[in-house]
Structure 1
Amino acid sequence: MILDAHGHVGTWPDFLIPNPTAEHLVATMDRIGVDAMGISHLLAVGPDAVRGNELAMEIAERFPGRFGVWQVYNPHHRTPLAREGVWGVKLHPDVHQCRLDDPLYEPVWRLGLPVLAHGQTDSPWSDPAQFAAVAARHPRVPLIMGHTGLWPYGFGRAARLVADHPNVYLDTCGSKMTGRWIARLVELAGAERVLFGSDACFLDLRTGYGRVALAPLSDADRALVRGANLARLLGLPAGPHA
């Protein structure tokens, strides 16, 4: 089973996305064997979280079993959040310019659902140290660090900062990630703490999965990274198109 923890649909104003549609994602997923992908709509990450979340839910309904929804929470607008029918909550502290450890996110932590948050080493909004601080305050909330801090010089630090917080997971998406770094993250954090993510449709799903498929990992560790960990975290069935 292959599950992509970190995906998107839609367009972004300053980033070329040649194929922003759910139809294109599904076609690519079918081609390489990805069973399901967690998506947040880029309209929701940007100016309209409410409408963007509605669009993501509509896409999930059109393609049953292929997309899980990460509903975006804008801390300045106190976006309404669903408890059912979603994978969890998506936070982007850098776009919203609100630190991950800011009290404005308290409604998200109280909800208790898994949270996927953009992580960026040395960002004032989403440095991995903030993930460690939030994880310590909310140890029962699964927290996925998007991009493992984004920059390669910070990957190792990110893994070490959250080593003592078993509710924090590291995802592999980002144009700077490599197969060797994925294997290193498995060594540093443990295979059960690393999740495959592609950042499609921002980035190419084929490239993102190729890094995991070709990383120097044991078959058992690769199976955990490419889907078993996320299935366990979300309580998903272990079959195809779960």
Structure 2
Amino acid sequence: MIIDAYNNIWEASGNSDYLTAESFTPDRMIAHLDEAGVDIAVGCSLGQSIDNPYIASVVETYPDRIIGFGQVNPRQPGAVEELRACARLGLKGIKLHPTLHGYHFADHGMLDPIFAAAGEEGLVILVNALDDPWCAPLAIEEISRGFPQTPVLIAHMGTVWNVTEALIVAERHDHIYLETSSTQLLEVQMAYRRVGPEKIVMGTDWPGSHFVLERAKIARAIPNDADRALVEGDNLARILRLAAS
């Protein structure tokens, strides 16, 4: 089964010229999944517009095609309660976006409760870590090493300048994985050589990129069929404890 680890779905809100004024619906995403031969994809709301009930409704409508990840802003009162509500809605993970929400990741007071609750609820944590001083991989390690029961996906592998840190962190911790969206081909090849296919999950960050492009990158970086199967779905199925089809 081909499973993509990171994408965004949302309904238009506000009048921003950047992203949120236009809807990117599950119907549009599923058409692109079909084009690329992807069976299932994780869908999140944008950091600019958190809407967990909407993501849950999408999953309810398309349970065989979309896995829902919720999102919380740890700076907001009630973030832990919102995380637990995501679990009750049937969402499988939590997206954190420190850049948009204005916090540094190495903040135990803010993030320890989030990680603890995610572990209790059986949720994966996905951290948007796109070349960002707010959430460099060593900061992610500082928090997540205290919660080995909570799997962590380092989205974008810290590209461009933090890839080396991401490789170090994934190498040191069994529960920390590297997600490939926005990365360069060379960076995926580096990860494959250093940490192996068991620690990499394919993600596209649709609609920022397209599934056919991400699959082509992964095919070039990981020519071995068995290893590529791990990256393109088997790893994430194991992390999310999805039942075998």
Which interval holds the TM-score relative to the shorter structure?
0.7 to 0.9
User: Partner residue of 1:6?
Assistant: 6
* Cα distance, 1:167 vs structure 2: 0.8
1:185-226 alpha-carbon deviations (Å, 9 max, x no partner): 111112110000000022222212221133243111100000
User: Partner residue of 2:229?
Assistant: 223
Q: Distance in 2 between matches of 1:209 and 1:19?
A: 24
User: Partner residue of 1:100?
Assistant: 105
Q: Distance in 2 between matches of 1:220 and 1:26?
A: 26
Q: Is the 8 A contact 1:135 1:165 kept in 2?
A: no
Q: Partner letter of residue 119 of structure 1?
A: A
User: Partner residue of 1:212?
Assistant: 218
Q: Distance in 1 between matches of 2:114 and 2:17?
A: 28
Q: Does 1:142 align with 2:155?
A: no
User: Partner residue of 2:125?
Assistant: 115
Q: Distance in 2 between matches of 1:166 and 1:216?
A: 21
* Cα distance, 1:106 vs structure 2: 2.8
Q: Partner letter of residue 94 of structure 1?
A: T
Instruction: Provide structure 1 residue ranges, at least 5 long, that are not aligned to the other structure.
Output: none
Q: Distance in 2 between matches of 1:140 and 1:14?
A: 40
SS of residue in 2 equivalent to 1:117? strand
SS of residue in 2 equivalent to 1:38? strand
Which of the residues 174, 180, 189 maps onto 1:166? 174
Q: Partner letter of residue 41 of structure 1?
A: S
Q: Does 1:181 align with 2:191?
A: no
The number of aligned residues is 230
Q: Distance in 1 between matches of 2:96 and 2:17?
A: 20
Q: Is the 8 A contact 2:180 2:203 kept in 1?
A: yes
The percentage of counterpart residues that share the same residue type is 28
Q: Distance in 1 between matches of 2:96 and 2:235?
A: 21
Cα distance change of structure 1 residues 14 and 222 upon mapping to structure 2, 3 Å threshold: farther
Instruction: Provide structure 2 residue ranges, at least 5 long, that are not aligned to the other structure.
Output: none
Q: Does 1:27 align with 2:36?
A: no
Q: Provide the aligned C-alpha RMSD in A.
A: 2.0
User: Partner residue of 1:56?
Assistant: 55
SS of residue in 2 equivalent to 1:203? coil
Q: Partner letter of residue 36 of structure 2?
A: I
Q: Distance in 2 between matches of 1:209 and 1:66?
A: 17
Q: Distance in 1 between matches of 2:106 and 2:191?
A: 24
Q: Is the 8 A contact 2:4 2:202 kept in 1?
A: yes
Q: Partner letter of residue 131 of structure 1?
A: I
Which of the residues 22, 45, 48 maps onto 1:46? 48
* Cα distance, 1:149 vs structure 2: 0.3
Cα distance change of structure 1 residues 197 and 76 upon mapping to structure 2, 3 Å threshold: same
* Cα distance, 1:183 vs structure 2: 2.4
4+ aligned runs moved over 3 Å, structure 1: 11-19
TM-score of the aligned structures, taking structure 2 as reference length: 0.86
* Cα distance, 1:165 vs structure 2: 1.0
Q: Is the 8 A contact 1:38 1:70 kept in 2?
A: yes
Q: Partner letter of residue 20 of structure 1?
A: F
User: Partner residue of 1:70?
Assistant: 69
* Cα distance, 1:166 vs structure 2: 1.0
* Cα distance, 1:158 vs structure 2: 1.6
Q: Does 1:129 align with 2:138?
A: yes
* Cα distance, 1:19 vs structure 2: 7.0
* Cα distance, 1:147 vs structure 2: 0.2
* Cα distance, 1:14 vs structure 2: 5.4
User: Partner residue of 2:243?
Assistant: 237
